[in-house]
Amino acid sequence: MDGDLKGRRILVVEDESLVAMLLETILDDLGCETVGPVSSVAEALDVVAARDDLDGGLLDVNVAGVEIFPVAEALAARNLPFVFSTGYGEGGLPDEWKGRITLQKPFTESAVQAALFKAIGSKA
């Protein structure tokens, strides 16, 4: 299953350092390249604007008290897939974002892999 994820460049937006380190390790194990992690919405928007080589994103819904949705909009505008990460699950998302692939914290490596594969693995 992870063969389609190898070499993918994934933007990680996460303000909790231990969670960010865990995601880096998981992405490394899957053969992905971690872009970031970045710990603010402003920095994430800068990265999305500056890089044309992103394959997708893992987005914490609440980053240092700021909602991630401007970054989700920027990725969606470029037709780039992403996965939300939140302690509240999909139920914690505003209506306009419900139905998006969402990881509930705490998550496992297999859950991250499955979510990324669902979001990104099928894209050429």
What is the three-class DSSP state of 120? helix
Ordered per-residue pLDDT tens for the chain, 124 residues:
445 799 999 999 999 999 999 999 999 999 999 999 999 999 999 999 999 999 999 999 999 999 999 999 999 999 999 999 998 878 889 999 999 999 999 999 999 999 999 998 755 4
Question: Which fold is adopted by the domain 2-9+17-111?
Answer: Rossmann fold (3.40.50)
Beta bridge partners of 56: 10
Q: Where are the alpha helices (DSSP H) in 30-95?
A: 41-50, 69-77
- d(Cα 103, Cα 88) in Å, to the nearest integer? 9
Residue among 121, 113, 26, 28 nearest 81 (CA)? 121
Rounded to two decimals, what is the model's pTM? 0.93
